[in-house]
Structure 1
Protein backbone atom coordinates (compact mmCIF):
# COMPACT_ATOMS: atom_id res chain seq x y z
CA UNK A 1 0.00 0.00 0.00
CA UNK A 2 2.72 2.47 0.99
CA UNK A 3 4.77 1.65 -2.10
CA UNK A 4 1.74 2.25 -4.34
CA UNK A 5 1.01 5.55 -2.63
CA UNK A 6 4.61 6.74 -3.03
CA UNK A 7 4.62 5.69 -6.70
CA UNK A 8 1.35 7.54 -7.35
CA UNK A 9 2.68 10.67 -5.64
CA UNK A 10 5.81 10.77 -7.79
CA UNK A 11 3.74 10.03 -10.90
CA UNK A 12 1.50 12.98 -9.99
CA UNK A 13 4.55 15.20 -9.49
CA UNK A 14 5.92 14.27 -12.92
CA UNK A 15 2.52 14.89 -14.54
CA UNK A 16 2.16 18.29 -12.89
CA UNK A 17 5.72 19.19 -13.90
CA UNK A 18 4.91 18.45 -17.55
CA UNK A 19 1.61 20.31 -17.30
CA UNK A 20 3.17 23.43 -15.79
CA UNK A 21 5.64 23.65 -18.65
CA UNK A 22 2.86 23.41 -21.24
CA UNK A 23 0.52 26.04 -19.76
CA UNK A 24 0.56 29.25 -21.86
CA UNK A 25 2.06 32.48 -20.63
CA UNK A 26 -1.38 33.90 -19.92
CA UNK A 27 -1.23 31.93 -16.67
CA UNK A 28 2.53 31.65 -16.13
CA UNK A 29 4.96 34.44 -16.86
CA UNK A 30 8.08 32.59 -18.04
CA UNK A 31 6.81 29.37 -16.39
CA UNK A 32 10.08 27.91 -15.14
CA UNK A 33 11.62 31.24 -14.04
CA UNK A 34 8.82 33.12 -12.28
CA UNK A 35 9.19 33.03 -8.51
CA UNK A 36 6.93 34.75 -5.99
CA UNK A 37 8.25 35.50 -2.54
CA UNK A 38 6.10 33.86 0.16
CA UNK A 39 6.72 34.08 3.89
CA UNK A 40 7.91 30.66 5.05
CA UNK A 41 6.83 29.32 8.46
CA UNK A 42 9.63 28.78 10.98
CA UNK A 43 8.56 25.60 12.77
CA UNK A 44 7.38 23.36 9.92
CA UNK A 45 9.34 25.09 7.18
CA UNK A 46 9.23 24.26 3.50
CA UNK A 47 11.63 21.87 1.83
CA UNK A 48 12.71 24.75 -0.41
CA UNK A 49 11.25 28.12 -1.42
CA UNK A 50 8.18 27.81 -3.61
CA UNK A 51 9.27 28.33 -7.21
CA UNK A 52 12.90 27.66 -6.28
CA UNK A 53 15.52 28.23 -8.94
CA UNK A 54 18.29 25.82 -9.81
CA UNK A 55 21.37 26.24 -7.65
CA UNK A 56 19.65 27.77 -4.60
CA UNK A 57 20.73 26.32 -1.29
CA UNK A 58 20.20 26.94 2.40
CA UNK A 59 21.61 25.68 5.70
CA UNK A 60 19.56 25.82 8.90
CA UNK A 61 20.45 25.24 12.55
CA UNK A 62 17.77 25.13 15.22
CA UNK A 63 17.47 24.77 18.99
CA UNK A 64 14.40 24.62 21.21
CA UNK A 65 13.05 23.75 24.65
CA UNK A 66 9.58 22.45 25.50
CA UNK A 67 7.85 21.97 28.84
CA UNK A 68 6.13 18.58 29.32
CA UNK A 69 5.09 19.34 32.91
CA UNK A 70 7.27 16.69 34.63
CA UNK A 71 10.23 16.92 32.27
CA UNK A 72 11.75 19.26 29.71
CA UNK A 73 12.62 18.42 26.13
CA UNK A 74 15.70 20.00 24.55
CA UNK A 75 15.71 19.64 20.78
CA UNK A 76 17.81 20.68 17.85
CA UNK A 77 18.40 19.99 14.19
CA UNK A 78 20.75 20.52 11.27
CA UNK A 79 19.07 20.93 7.91
CA UNK A 80 20.40 21.34 4.37
CA UNK A 81 18.19 22.14 1.41
CA UNK A 82 18.99 22.83 -2.22
CA UNK A 83 17.40 23.09 -5.66
CA UNK A 84 18.92 20.73 -8.26
CA UNK A 85 16.50 22.08 -10.89
CA UNK A 86 14.02 24.93 -11.29
CA UNK A 87 11.06 24.53 -8.91
CA UNK A 88 12.47 21.33 -7.40
CA UNK A 89 13.68 21.25 -3.81
CA UNK A 90 15.51 18.52 -1.90
CA UNK A 91 16.23 18.45 1.84
CA UNK A 92 18.20 16.40 4.35
CA UNK A 93 17.60 16.96 8.07
CA UNK A 94 19.01 15.36 11.22
CA UNK A 95 16.95 16.18 14.34
CA UNK A 96 17.94 15.24 17.91
CA UNK A 97 16.24 15.43 21.30
CA UNK A 98 17.31 15.20 24.95
CA UNK A 99 15.16 15.08 28.08
CA UNK A 100 15.56 16.20 31.68
CA UNK A 101 13.28 15.66 34.67
CA UNK A 102 12.16 18.73 36.56
CA UNK A 103 10.49 17.18 39.63
CA UNK A 104 13.43 15.10 40.87
CA UNK A 105 11.35 11.89 40.91
CA UNK A 106 13.26 9.04 39.29
CA UNK A 107 10.06 7.06 38.52
CA UNK A 108 8.62 9.76 36.27
CA UNK A 109 7.92 8.32 32.82
CA UNK A 110 10.13 10.11 30.33
CA UNK A 111 11.29 9.44 26.76
CA UNK A 112 14.93 8.53 26.24
CA UNK A 113 17.63 10.67 24.64
CA UNK A 114 18.12 10.10 20.95
CA UNK A 115 19.12 11.33 17.55
CA UNK A 116 15.58 11.21 16.21
CA UNK A 117 16.57 10.03 12.77
CA UNK A 118 17.16 11.23 9.23
CA UNK A 119 14.59 13.10 7.16
CA UNK A 120 14.80 12.95 3.37
CA UNK A 121 12.36 15.17 1.50
CA UNK A 122 11.53 16.52 -1.93
CA UNK A 123 9.13 19.21 -3.14
CA UNK A 124 8.02 20.38 -6.58
CA UNK A 125 6.25 23.70 -7.26
CA UNK A 126 3.81 22.88 -10.04
CA UNK A 127 2.05 26.25 -10.18
CA UNK A 128 3.33 29.83 -9.93
CA UNK A 129 0.62 32.31 -10.93
CA UNK A 130 1.60 35.94 -11.18
CA UNK A 131 -2.01 36.87 -11.93
CA UNK A 132 -3.33 35.33 -8.70
CA UNK A 133 -0.13 35.81 -6.66
CA UNK A 134 -0.35 32.13 -5.76
CA UNK A 135 2.07 29.19 -5.69
CA UNK A 136 1.24 25.50 -5.24
CA UNK A 137 3.49 22.52 -4.59
CA UNK A 138 3.47 18.82 -3.76
CA UNK A 139 6.13 16.99 -1.82
CA UNK A 140 7.10 13.89 0.07
CA UNK A 141 8.97 13.35 3.35
CA UNK A 142 10.51 10.03 4.39
CA UNK A 143 11.83 9.92 7.94
CA UNK A 144 13.82 7.01 9.35
CA UNK A 145 13.37 6.97 13.13
CA UNK A 146 16.38 5.92 15.19
CA UNK A 147 16.16 4.05 18.48
CA UNK A 148 17.23 5.76 21.70
CA UNK A 149 20.89 5.67 22.73
CA UNK A 150 20.00 3.22 25.53
CA UNK A 151 18.20 0.81 23.16
CA UNK A 152 21.09 0.89 20.70
CA UNK A 153 23.59 0.16 23.50
CA UNK A 154 21.64 -2.68 25.15
CA UNK A 155 19.73 -4.26 22.28
CA UNK A 156 21.71 -3.26 19.22
CA UNK A 157 18.46 -2.11 17.64
CA UNK A 158 19.27 0.86 15.43
CA UNK A 159 15.99 1.68 13.65
CA UNK A 160 12.66 2.01 15.47
CA UNK A 161 10.34 2.88 12.62
CA UNK A 162 9.70 5.11 9.64
CA UNK A 163 7.33 7.91 8.62
CA UNK A 164 5.66 8.37 5.23
CA UNK A 165 4.39 11.92 4.69
CA UNK A 166 3.05 13.20 1.33
CA UNK A 167 2.33 16.94 1.49
CA UNK A 168 0.43 19.63 -0.39
CA UNK A 169 1.26 23.34 -0.11
CA UNK A 170 -0.61 26.40 -1.33
CA UNK A 171 0.53 29.98 -0.63
CA UNK A 172 -1.00 33.31 -1.57
CA UNK A 173 0.12 36.95 -1.32
CA UNK A 174 -3.00 39.02 -0.64
CA UNK A 175 -0.95 42.22 -0.64
CA UNK A 176 2.84 42.72 -0.75
CA UNK A 177 2.74 42.55 3.08
CA UNK A 178 0.00 40.01 3.88
CA UNK A 179 0.91 36.37 3.15
CA UNK A 180 -0.96 33.13 3.88
CA UNK A 181 0.21 29.53 3.49
CA UNK A 182 -1.43 26.13 4.00
CA UNK A 183 0.73 23.02 4.47
CA UNK A 184 -1.16 19.75 4.86
CA UNK A 185 -1.00 15.99 4.38
CA UNK A 186 -1.37 12.59 6.05
CA UNK A 187 1.40 11.03 8.14
CA UNK A 188 1.80 7.24 8.30
CA UNK A 189 4.08 6.06 11.11
CA UNK A 190 5.21 2.44 10.88
CA UNK A 191 6.67 0.78 14.00
CA UNK A 192 9.09 -2.02 13.18
CA UNK A 193 8.51 -3.88 16.49
CA UNK A 194 4.94 -4.87 15.66
CA UNK A 195 4.72 -3.49 12.10
CA UNK A 196 1.64 -1.47 13.02
CA UNK A 197 0.91 1.79 11.18
CA UNK A 198 -0.34 4.83 13.08
CA UNK A 199 -2.10 7.44 10.93
CA UNK A 200 -2.71 11.11 11.55
CA UNK A 201 -3.49 14.21 9.50
CA UNK A 202 -1.48 17.42 9.66
CA UNK A 203 -2.94 20.82 8.88
CA UNK A 204 -0.63 23.82 9.25
CA UNK A 205 -2.14 27.25 8.62
CA UNK A 206 0.01 30.38 8.48
CA UNK A 207 -0.56 34.13 8.41
CA UNK A 208 2.38 36.55 8.14
CA UNK A 209 2.98 40.28 7.80
CA UNK A 210 6.13 40.93 5.75
CA UNK A 211 7.81 44.30 6.20
CA UNK A 212 8.26 45.75 2.70
CA UNK A 213 11.78 45.70 1.26
CA UNK A 214 13.36 43.91 4.21
CA UNK A 215 12.38 40.22 4.19
CA UNK A 216 11.61 40.52 7.91
CA UNK A 217 8.22 39.33 9.12
CA UNK A 218 5.97 38.67 12.09
CA UNK A 219 3.25 36.05 11.98
CA UNK A 220 1.32 33.16 13.42
CA UNK A 221 1.84 29.50 12.54
CA UNK A 222 -0.88 27.11 13.70
CA UNK A 223 0.09 23.41 13.83
CA UNK A 224 -2.86 21.00 13.99
CA UNK A 225 -2.78 17.19 14.20
CA UNK A 226 -5.82 14.93 14.00
CA UNK A 227 -5.73 11.22 14.89
CA UNK A 228 -7.79 8.62 16.76
CA UNK A 229 -6.65 10.37 19.92
CA UNK A 230 -7.73 13.89 20.82
CA UNK A 231 -6.64 16.55 18.32
CA UNK A 232 -3.58 18.66 19.03
CA UNK A 233 -3.45 22.38 18.25
CA UNK A 234 -0.39 24.55 18.92
CA UNK A 235 -0.18 28.27 18.14
CA UNK A 236 3.31 29.53 17.25
CA UNK A 237 3.73 33.33 17.13
CA UNK A 238 7.01 34.09 15.37
CA UNK A 239 9.37 36.70 14.04
CA UNK A 240 12.13 36.55 11.42
CA UNK A 241 14.91 39.14 11.22
CA UNK A 242 17.55 39.48 8.54
CA UNK A 243 20.84 40.22 10.29
CA UNK A 244 23.15 40.36 7.26
CA UNK A 245 23.22 39.49 3.58
CA UNK A 246 22.22 35.83 3.38
CA UNK A 247 21.80 35.34 7.13
CA UNK A 248 18.57 35.56 9.13
CA UNK A 249 17.37 34.41 12.52
CA UNK A 250 13.89 33.25 13.45
CA UNK A 251 12.39 33.10 16.94
CA UNK A 252 9.07 31.56 17.93
CA UNK A 253 7.05 30.35 20.88
CA UNK A 254 4.69 27.39 21.13
CA UNK A 255 1.37 27.79 22.95
CA UNK A 256 -0.78 24.63 23.12
CA UNK A 257 -4.55 25.07 22.93
CA UNK A 258 -4.86 22.40 25.63
CA UNK A 259 -2.16 22.38 28.29
CA UNK A 260 -2.94 19.19 30.24
CA UNK A 261 0.24 17.43 29.08
CA UNK A 262 2.33 20.05 27.28
CA UNK A 263 3.36 23.51 28.34
CA UNK A 264 5.02 26.39 26.56
CA UNK A 265 7.96 26.01 24.19
CA UNK A 266 10.46 28.28 22.48
CA UNK A 267 12.68 27.76 19.44
CA UNK A 268 15.27 29.66 17.43
CA UNK A 269 16.34 28.97 13.85
CA UNK A 270 19.49 30.29 12.18
CA UNK A 271 19.07 30.53 8.40
CA UNK A 272 22.08 30.84 6.09
CA UNK A 273 21.84 31.11 2.33
CA UNK A 274 25.44 30.91 1.03
Structure 2
Protein backbone atom coordinates (compact mmCIF):
# COMPACT_ATOMS: atom_id res chain seq x y z
CA UNK A 1 0.00 0.00 0.00
CA UNK A 2 1.61 3.25 -1.14
CA UNK A 3 1.33 6.66 0.53
CA UNK A 4 -1.35 7.85 -1.91
CA UNK A 5 -3.60 4.91 -1.06
CA UNK A 6 -3.05 5.40 2.67
CA UNK A 7 -3.93 9.09 2.46
CA UNK A 8 -7.06 8.20 0.50
CA UNK A 9 -8.01 5.61 3.14
CA UNK A 10 -7.51 8.20 5.91
CA UNK A 11 -9.69 10.68 4.01
CA UNK A 12 -12.47 8.12 3.59
CA UNK A 13 -12.25 7.20 7.29
CA UNK A 14 -12.53 10.83 8.39
CA UNK A 15 -15.43 11.47 6.00
CA UNK A 16 -17.33 8.43 7.21
CA UNK A 17 -16.62 9.30 10.83
CA UNK A 18 -17.88 12.87 10.38
CA UNK A 19 -21.12 11.53 8.95
CA UNK A 20 -21.42 9.19 11.92
CA UNK A 21 -20.79 12.05 14.36
CA UNK A 22 -23.47 14.21 12.75
CA UNK A 23 -25.98 11.38 13.02
CA UNK A 24 -25.03 10.84 16.65
CA UNK A 25 -25.05 14.43 17.85
CA UNK A 26 -26.46 13.36 21.20
CA UNK A 27 -23.09 11.76 22.02
CA UNK A 28 -21.27 14.37 24.06
CA UNK A 29 -17.90 12.68 23.92
CA UNK A 30 -16.26 9.43 22.91
CA UNK A 31 -18.25 6.43 24.05
CA UNK A 32 -14.98 4.58 24.29
CA UNK A 33 -13.77 7.06 26.90
CA UNK A 34 -16.88 6.25 28.93
CA UNK A 35 -16.28 2.54 28.41
CA UNK A 36 -12.72 2.75 29.72
CA UNK A 37 -13.25 5.24 32.53
CA UNK A 38 -16.69 4.37 33.90
CA UNK A 39 -15.12 1.85 36.27
CA UNK A 40 -13.90 4.23 38.96
CA UNK A 41 -11.57 1.89 40.81
CA UNK A 42 -8.82 1.73 39.93
CA UNK A 43 -8.74 5.05 38.08
CA UNK A 44 -7.71 4.97 34.43
CA UNK A 45 -7.46 7.64 31.75
CA UNK A 46 -7.93 6.70 28.11
CA UNK A 47 -4.91 7.51 25.92
CA UNK A 48 -4.27 6.76 22.26
CA UNK A 49 -1.36 4.33 22.07
CA UNK A 50 1.15 4.78 19.21
CA UNK A 51 1.24 1.90 16.75
CA UNK A 52 4.93 1.58 15.87
CA UNK A 53 6.70 2.17 19.20
CA UNK A 54 3.82 0.83 21.26
CA UNK A 55 3.49 0.64 25.03
CA UNK A 56 3.95 -2.48 27.11
CA UNK A 57 0.32 -2.18 28.22
CA UNK A 58 -2.29 0.59 28.46
CA UNK A 59 -1.32 3.32 30.90
CA UNK A 60 -3.18 2.66 34.15
CA UNK A 61 -3.67 -0.99 33.16
CA UNK A 62 -6.21 -2.96 35.15
CA UNK A 63 -5.66 -6.49 36.40
CA UNK A 64 -6.68 -9.11 33.86
CA UNK A 65 -6.20 -7.00 30.73
CA UNK A 66 -4.39 -8.87 27.97
CA UNK A 67 -3.58 -8.45 24.30
CA UNK A 68 -1.96 -10.31 21.38
CA UNK A 69 -0.18 -8.38 18.62
CA UNK A 70 1.02 -9.55 15.22
CA UNK A 71 3.04 -7.04 13.23
CA UNK A 72 4.24 -7.10 9.61
CA UNK A 73 6.46 -4.44 8.06
CA UNK A 74 8.49 -3.63 4.96
CA UNK A 75 11.45 -1.23 4.78
CA UNK A 76 13.03 -0.09 1.52
CA UNK A 77 16.80 0.17 1.90
CA UNK A 78 19.32 1.16 -0.75
CA UNK A 79 20.66 -2.36 -1.38
CA UNK A 80 17.90 -4.61 -0.03
CA UNK A 81 14.38 -4.78 1.35
CA UNK A 82 13.83 -5.91 4.92
CA UNK A 83 10.63 -7.56 6.06
CA UNK A 84 9.73 -7.29 9.73
CA UNK A 85 7.47 -9.62 11.64
CA UNK A 86 6.69 -9.73 15.33
CA UNK A 87 4.54 -11.66 17.74
CA UNK A 88 3.93 -10.23 21.18
CA UNK A 89 1.76 -10.94 24.20
CA UNK A 90 1.08 -8.36 26.89
CA UNK A 91 -0.94 -8.63 30.07
CA UNK A 92 -1.57 -6.99 33.45
CA UNK A 93 -1.12 -9.38 36.42
CA UNK A 94 -2.04 -6.60 38.86
CA UNK A 95 -3.46 -3.10 38.55
CA UNK A 96 -1.15 -0.61 36.79
CA UNK A 97 1.55 -3.20 35.99
CA UNK A 98 1.99 -4.36 32.39
CA UNK A 99 4.24 -7.22 31.25
CA UNK A 100 5.21 -8.22 27.72
CA UNK A 101 7.02 -10.95 25.78
CA UNK A 102 7.93 -10.24 22.14
CA UNK A 103 9.64 -12.20 19.36
CA UNK A 104 10.73 -9.92 16.48
CA UNK A 105 11.92 -11.43 13.16
CA UNK A 106 13.65 -9.82 10.15
CA UNK A 107 13.96 -11.31 6.66
CA UNK A 108 16.18 -9.64 4.04
CA UNK A 109 15.74 -9.63 0.26
CA UNK A 110 18.52 -8.19 -1.95
CA UNK A 111 17.61 -5.83 -4.77
CA UNK A 112 18.35 -6.76 -8.37
CA UNK A 113 22.06 -6.86 -9.04
CA UNK A 114 23.00 -7.10 -5.36
CA UNK A 115 24.70 -10.28 -4.15
CA UNK A 116 22.75 -12.19 -1.51
CA UNK A 117 25.95 -12.70 0.47
CA UNK A 118 26.36 -8.93 0.82
CA UNK A 119 23.10 -8.38 2.71
CA UNK A 120 22.39 -9.29 6.35
CA UNK A 121 21.21 -12.79 7.18
CA UNK A 122 17.62 -13.55 8.18
CA UNK A 123 17.18 -13.69 11.91
CA UNK A 124 15.05 -14.00 14.98
CA UNK A 125 16.38 -10.69 16.26
CA UNK A 126 15.91 -11.22 19.96
CA UNK A 127 13.76 -12.29 22.86
CA UNK A 128 12.29 -9.17 24.46
CA UNK A 129 10.95 -9.11 28.01
CA UNK A 130 9.42 -5.92 29.35
CA UNK A 131 7.58 -4.39 32.30
CA UNK A 132 5.79 -1.05 32.73
CA UNK A 133 4.44 0.56 35.91
CA UNK A 134 1.97 3.46 35.77
CA UNK A 135 2.82 5.52 38.84
CA UNK A 136 0.50 8.47 38.12
CA UNK A 137 -3.11 8.59 36.94
CA UNK A 138 -4.61 12.07 37.20
CA UNK A 139 -8.22 12.05 35.99
CA UNK A 140 -8.94 15.81 36.32
CA UNK A 141 -5.87 16.58 34.18
CA UNK A 142 -6.39 13.53 31.90
CA UNK A 143 -2.70 12.73 32.41
CA UNK A 144 -0.79 9.51 33.08
CA UNK A 145 2.89 8.76 33.69
CA UNK A 146 4.78 5.48 33.71
CA UNK A 147 8.27 4.03 33.95
CA UNK A 148 9.38 0.77 32.42
CA UNK A 149 12.21 -1.48 31.37
CA UNK A 150 12.83 -3.65 28.31
CA UNK A 151 15.52 -6.34 28.33
CA UNK A 152 16.40 -7.66 24.90
CA UNK A 153 18.48 -10.83 24.50
CA UNK A 154 20.04 -10.43 21.05
CA UNK A 155 20.37 -13.66 19.06
CA UNK A 156 22.76 -14.68 16.30
CA UNK A 157 21.48 -14.62 12.72
CA UNK A 158 20.43 -17.84 11.02
CA UNK A 159 23.79 -18.23 9.21
CA UNK A 160 25.58 -18.62 12.52
CA UNK A 161 22.69 -19.51 14.79
CA UNK A 162 23.95 -21.04 18.03
CA UNK A 163 27.52 -19.79 17.59
CA UNK A 164 26.86 -18.12 19.94
CA UNK A 165 23.14 -18.37 20.64
CA UNK A 166 22.97 -15.04 22.52
CA UNK A 167 25.44 -12.50 21.15
CA UNK A 168 24.48 -9.51 23.27
CA UNK A 169 22.00 -7.71 25.44
CA UNK A 170 20.10 -4.42 25.17
CA UNK A 171 19.16 -2.55 28.35
CA UNK A 172 16.31 -0.09 27.79
CA UNK A 173 14.77 1.83 30.70
CA UNK A 174 12.10 4.29 29.58
CA UNK A 175 9.68 6.95 30.74
CA UNK A 176 6.20 7.71 29.38
CA UNK A 177 3.96 10.72 29.87
CA UNK A 178 0.60 11.06 28.11
CA UNK A 179 -2.15 13.66 28.14
CA UNK A 180 -5.58 13.82 26.56
CA UNK A 181 -6.71 17.29 25.48
CA UNK A 182 -10.48 17.42 25.73
CA UNK A 183 -12.18 14.28 24.50
CA UNK A 184 -10.50 13.55 21.20
CA UNK A 185 -6.93 14.86 21.07
CA UNK A 186 -4.07 12.84 22.53
CA UNK A 187 -0.34 13.44 22.97
CA UNK A 188 2.37 11.13 24.31
CA UNK A 189 6.13 11.15 24.91
CA UNK A 190 8.09 7.90 25.20
CA UNK A 191 11.81 8.34 25.90
CA UNK A 192 14.86 6.55 27.23
CA UNK A 193 18.38 5.26 26.48
CA UNK A 194 19.18 1.99 24.71
CA UNK A 195 22.43 0.47 25.98
CA UNK A 196 23.68 -2.37 23.77
CA UNK A 197 26.28 -4.78 25.12
CA UNK A 198 28.26 -7.08 22.82
CA UNK A 199 29.24 -10.20 24.75
CA UNK A 200 32.13 -11.09 22.40
CA UNK A 201 33.88 -7.71 22.28
CA UNK A 202 32.50 -6.56 25.65
CA UNK A 203 31.78 -3.19 24.10
CA UNK A 204 28.85 -0.97 25.03
CA UNK A 205 27.00 1.29 22.59
CA UNK A 206 24.43 3.81 23.82
CA UNK A 207 21.77 5.65 21.84
CA UNK A 208 18.91 7.79 23.10
CA UNK A 209 15.35 7.72 21.76
CA UNK A 210 12.68 10.40 22.01
CA UNK A 211 9.39 9.27 20.51
CA UNK A 212 6.51 11.75 20.40
CA UNK A 213 3.02 11.07 19.06
CA UNK A 214 -0.18 12.98 18.44
CA UNK A 215 -3.57 11.41 17.70
CA UNK A 216 -7.18 12.34 17.05
CA UNK A 217 -9.65 9.69 18.28
CA UNK A 218 -12.96 9.81 16.46
CA UNK A 219 -15.95 10.29 18.81
CA UNK A 220 -18.00 7.19 19.51
CA UNK A 221 -15.36 4.81 18.11
CA UNK A 222 -12.01 3.22 18.87
CA UNK A 223 -10.64 4.55 15.60
CA UNK A 224 -7.94 7.19 15.42
CA UNK A 225 -5.59 8.93 13.02
CA UNK A 226 -2.27 10.39 14.08
CA UNK A 227 1.47 10.55 13.68
CA UNK A 228 4.62 9.40 15.47
CA UNK A 229 7.96 11.18 15.38
CA UNK A 230 10.62 8.57 16.16
CA UNK A 231 13.95 10.32 16.93
CA UNK A 232 17.28 8.67 17.74
CA UNK A 233 20.43 10.42 18.98
CA UNK A 234 23.69 8.49 18.46
CA UNK A 235 26.63 10.65 19.58
CA UNK A 236 26.81 13.29 16.84
CA UNK A 237 24.35 11.47 14.57
CA UNK A 238 20.60 12.16 14.50
CA UNK A 239 17.88 10.13 12.76
CA UNK A 240 14.15 10.79 12.61
CA UNK A 241 11.29 8.96 10.96
CA UNK A 242 7.80 10.43 10.66
CA UNK A 243 5.09 7.75 10.84
CA UNK A 244 1.54 8.77 9.84
CA UNK A 245 -0.88 6.14 11.09
CA UNK A 246 -4.45 5.07 11.63
CA UNK A 247 -6.25 2.47 13.74
CA UNK A 248 -9.52 0.81 12.77
CA UNK A 249 -11.78 -1.34 14.94
CA UNK A 250 -12.89 -4.42 12.99
CA UNK A 251 -14.97 -6.01 15.74
CA UNK A 252 -15.21 -5.37 19.50
CA UNK A 253 -11.91 -7.09 20.35
CA UNK A 254 -10.01 -6.91 17.05
CA UNK A 255 -8.25 -3.83 15.66
CA UNK A 256 -5.84 -3.13 12.84
CA UNK A 257 -3.20 -0.40 12.72
CA UNK A 258 -1.62 0.90 9.51
CA UNK A 259 1.63 2.88 9.60
CA UNK A 260 3.77 4.56 6.93
CA UNK A 261 7.40 5.49 7.66
CA UNK A 262 8.95 8.59 6.07
CA UNK A 263 12.64 9.06 6.98
CA UNK A 264 13.76 12.64 7.46
CA UNK A 265 17.47 12.04 7.83
CA UNK A 266 18.60 8.50 7.25
CA UNK A 267 21.62 7.42 5.23
CA UNK A 268 20.45 3.95 4.16
CA UNK A 269 16.72 3.63 4.88
CA UNK A 270 13.95 4.89 2.61
CA UNK A 271 10.17 4.56 2.88
CA UNK A 272 8.61 1.84 5.03
CA UNK A 273 5.20 0.46 5.93
CA UNK A 274 3.92 -1.46 8.92
CA UNK A 275 0.66 -3.19 9.83
CA UNK A 276 -0.29 -4.26 13.37
CA UNK A 277 -3.13 -6.66 14.13
CA UNK A 278 -4.38 -6.30 17.73
CA UNK A 279 -6.52 -8.94 19.41
CA UNK A 280 -7.88 -8.36 22.93
CA UNK A 281 -9.28 -11.68 24.22
CA UNK A 282 -11.97 -11.10 26.82
CA UNK A 283 -12.64 -7.49 25.78
CA UNK A 284 -16.36 -6.75 25.59
CA UNK A 285 -18.05 -3.56 24.50
CA UNK A 286 -20.25 -2.17 27.25
CA UNK A 287 -22.36 0.25 25.20
CA UNK A 288 -24.93 -0.37 22.49
CA UNK A 289 -23.51 1.92 19.82
CA UNK A 290 -21.52 0.79 16.81
CA UNK A 291 -17.76 0.65 17.06
CA drift at 1:127: 0.3
Contact 1:236 1:253 in 2 (8 A): yes
Match of 2:132 among 119, 123, 137: 123
Deviations 1:226-273 (A, max 9, x none): 012511100000000000010000000000002531100000000000
Q: Tell me: CA distance 1:34–1:233, structure 2 relative to 1, closer, same or farther (3 Å).
A: same
CA drift at 1:32: 5.7
- 2:236 & 2:248 partners in 1: Cα distance? 37
**Match of 2:269, SS?**
coil
**Match of 2:161, SS?**
helix
- 1:33 & 1:56 partners in 2: Cα distance? 13
Find out whether 1:241 has 2:248 as its counterpart: yes
Find out whether 1:140 has 2:170 as its counterpart: no
Match of 1:95 among 101, 104, 108: 104
- 1:250 & 1:63 partners in 2: Cα distance? 10
- 2:278 & 2:180 partners in 1: Cα distance? 22
Contact 1:32 1:87 in 2 (8 A): no
Give 1:190's aligned residue.
197
- 1:173 & 1:114 partners in 2: Cα distance? 39
Contact 2:240 2:266 in 1 (8 A): no
Give 2:80's aligned residue.
71
Match of 1:212 among 205, 211, 219: 219
Contact 2:153 2:169 in 1 (8 A): yes
CA drift at 1:109: 3.4
- 1:32 & 1:122 partners in 2: Cα distance? 22
TM-score (normalizing by structure 1): 0.86
Give 2:24's aligned residue.
none
Match of 1:252 among 248, 259, 262: 259
Large movers: runs of 4+ above 3 Å: 29-32
Root mean square deviation of aligned Cα: 1.6
CA drift at 1:213: 1.6
Contact 1:31 1:128 in 2 (8 A): no
**Match of 1:231, SS?**
strand
- 1:179 & 1:30 partners in 2: Cα distance? 21
Q: Tell me: CA distance 1:65–1:49, structure 2 relative to 1, closer, same or farther (3 Å).
A: same
Contact 1:32 1:86 in 2 (8 A): no
- 1:261 & 1:164 partners in 2: Cα distance? 25
- 2:157 & 2:166 partners in 1: Cα distance? 9
**Match of 1:43, SS?**
coil
- The number of residue pairs the alignment matches comes to 244
Give 1:10's aligned residue.
none
CA drift at 1:103: 2.7
TM-score (normalizing by structure 2): 0.81
Q: Tell me: CA distance 1:78–1:30, structure 2 relative to 1, closer, same or farther (3 Å).
A: closer
- 1:272 & 1:195 partners in 2: Cα distance? 40
